[in-house]
Amino acid sequence: MVQARIAGSGGVCIGKGVFGRSYMSGCHVCGSMGRSDWNSQFGRRKKNGTAGGADGQKSDGLTAVPGVMEETGRLSGGKVYLAGGGCGDAELVTLKAVKALQKCDTVVYDSLVSEELLQWTRSDCERIFVGKRYQCHSSGQLEINALLIEKAREGKTVVRLKGGDPYVFGRGGEEFQALLDAGVCCEAIPGVTSAIAVPAAAGIPVTHRGLSDSVTVVTGTAAKTGGREELELDFHALAQLKGTLVILMGMHHLAKIVVGLLAAGKDRNTPCAIIMEGTTERQRVVRAPLFELAARAAERGLTAPAVIVVGAVAKLELIMYDMPVAGISVGVTGTARFADKLSCALREKGVDIRDMSFMEIRPSSDSLPDLADCGWLVFTSPNGVEVFLEKMRLERLDLRTLSGHKIAVIGPGTAERLKEAGLYADYMPEVYDAAHLAEGLSDIIMAEQEKERPGSTGWAQSKVMFLRAKQGSGVPSRIFRERRIPYEEHALYELGVQEQKRDAVITKEPDYIAFGSAMGARVYFEGMEKKGIRNTRSRYVCIGEQCAKEVRKYVAEPPLIAEKADVHAIVDCLCSDRVRNAAFSTRI
């Protein structure tokens, strides 16, 4: 086996060939790149998997070097995953696509991709938007192809994230072929296509016994011919279909499509439906017979993105409506764990989630403290439990280490995270904040002190260990000092701010913004002051009084406060406010 390193090449591979980076020296992303430029830059891959010609010979500007590997024994260069991101609802993404996002160095994504999916990427992941909408293309197809090749040649793992399925009118085949032609390692990850999922979200199965035993998917986009846009649809063939016709990207030519089908003999009373922004909380549906479809859609103000369904199944409505707050938008802040839990709870209520999380957990590099003389271990957040358990794992400590210790927690969220690890809290205050935790726990310890004999080494004489964030409240330490109870504080982690993301989300104005901590609220408003931004539209929902106290420093309107410090209480608080203010206007 030949093992070698091509100095400075950062080459990419396919089959037995490695294509050196030097041949990309003249390449740059440029909207004016033509087909001839493309071929001269990247060449054509022959069927044998090399760049063409005899083995190892130069052809079309690329050189194939059979069997060359890095010193690690792996083929050199990066890899591109052409992944489908599903349609609309971020939860429709596949597990395989999520795994690719979690490990990628660069993600290149479209306008139809839910930005919630980007939360799966690492904090240092490069995010490149190349969104394409009707007559509003941020990047041309050749630009995108060149960008993917360039990033792979840099040795990066790249996810090309496309809406729906990359091979269903997503030009995924063109991108994959371009990667193959350039000798880039690549893999396709299928996605949930809007052609099936969006009708389903509106209660329309594309096939149904007795109504439709087939489905045809077409695109409603037009090609330019002599300066005019012409639909490339065979209306005569489509009008003869007995099954379901699904039309993607057809809203801009809806009237022409309706006229074309009617002129070709399609029954004017054929049931039809248009689903706008399907699978999201902003979903809107219009049902009408074919001859009225365009007029009905215009009356209701339906626009792209939307899916058009033509056929008997369009009259079905297999769906239950039980979402009293459906359609309102809520910005979710906080750490990833908190944001995930709150988003899941809100999504079940039909809320339109806006990811506004910009806080991150930064574990301390310090080892865990000696717990031998500690009677009580105190956790003040689920994040603290998470970091503590991970540090135990890294230090090769198991749960037997905690034998003989009692555990106190600040609230049910922290208790639940402990329970997941097989640990149960011995004390939790009725009011979930640092002051009530410290007061309640100190009362228990002082009561134990009165019961125990002088000189004994029971719970009352042992130390209390607070395992917390570096920026934690100073209230517990003050209370324990005043009551002369021995205690120690250990910072497991600190809360960091992703400033670039914070600066991006503060421009959003959803109906509500939910805060999971006082620090999160402070950082949010500091970012707004720094940018000179004012949000006069959103209402603020706080997890507790300390958080609300921070919000009051910046806004005049009193914030909403959850009755308990957990995500379900935040949801209940938001829903109650929505019911009280039924006339509260929302934007779609």
Q: Using alpha carbons, list the distances in angstroms from residue 464 to 28, 382, 440.
A: 61, 19, 13
Contact in structure between 203 and 65 (CB atoms under 8 Å): no
- Return the percentage of the chain with pLDDT > 70, whole number: 81
Q: What is the structure's pLDDT at 54? A: 37
Quickly name the fold that domain 329-358+498-580 has: Rossmann fold (3.40.50)
69 part of the active site: no
Please write the tens of the pLDDT for every residue from 125-164. Answer: 999 999 765 555 557 899 999 999 999 999 999 999 999 9
**Between residues 274 and 27, which one has the greater pLDDT?**
274
Q: Using alpha carbons, list the distances in angstroms from residue 478 to 334, 450, 471, 532.
A: 27, 22, 15, 37
Reported confidence tier of residue 7, pLDDT bands at 50, 70, 90: very low
Contact in structure between 331 and 515 (CB atoms under 8 Å): no
Q: Is the pLDDT confidence value at 74 over 80?
A: no
Residue 498 class from Cβ within 10 Å (0-12 exposed, 13-18 middle, 19+ buried)?
Answer: middle
> Residue 208 is encoded by which pair of tokens?
């149904």
For 24-44, what is the mean pLDDT? 38
Half-sphere exposure in the Cβ direction for 105 (13 Å, CA): 14
Least confident of 19-33, 112-126, 272-286: 19-33
Given CATH 3.40.1010.10, say whether it is the number of domain 12-192: yes
Place of tokens 């009408």: 288
Can 329-358+498-580 and 362-496 be said to share one CATH topology? yes
Q: Using alpha carbons, list the distances in angstroms from residue 228 to 222, 231, 303.
A: 9, 10, 22
Q: Pick the closest to residue 524 from 544, 507, 549 (CA basis).
A: 507
List the alpha helices (DSSP H) in 429-494. 434-451, 475-482
Q: Of the residues 24, 89, 110, 433, which is catalytic?
A: 110
Reported confidence tier of residue 454, pLDDT bands at 50, 70, 90: low
- The dihedrals phi and psi of 13, each to the nearest 5 degrees, come to -130, 155
Please write the tens of the pLDDT for every residue from 342-390. Answer: 988 988 888 888 889 888 899 999 999 999 889 999 999 999 999 999 9
Please write the tens of the pLDDT for every residue from 499-545. Answer: 888 888 899 899 999 999 889 999 999 999 999 999 989 999 999 88
CATH number (3.40.50.150, 3.30.950.10, 3.40.50.10330, 3.90.226.30) of 219-224+231-315 reads 3.30.950.10
Quickly name the fold that domain 362-496 has: Rossmann fold (3.40.50)
Q: At what angle do helices 35-42 and 141-153 cross, to 10 degrees?
A: 10
Q: Of the residues 24, 33, 89, 132, which is catalytic?
A: 132
> Residue 37 is encoded by which pair of tokens?
């430029």
Q: What is the structure's pLDDT at 49? A: 36
132 part of the active site: yes
Please write the tens of the pLDDT for every residue from 192-228. Answer: 999 999 999 999 999 999 999 999 999 998 777 666 7
Q: Is the pLDDT confidence value at 229 over 90?
A: no
Q: What is the structure's pLDDT at 226? A: 65
Q: Is the pLDDT confidence value at 169 over 50?
A: yes
Distance CA 88, CA 116 (A): 10
Mean pLDDT of the chain: 83
249 part of the active site: yes
Domains of the chain, by residue range, sit at: 12-192, 219-224+231-315, 329-358+498-580, 362-496
Please write the tens of the pLDDT for every residue from 544-556. Answer: 888 999 999 999 9
Q: Is 119 helix (H, G, I), strand (E, B) or coil?
A: helix
Q: Of the residues 24, 33, 89, 249, which is catalytic?
A: 249
For 546-572, what is the mean pLDDT? 92
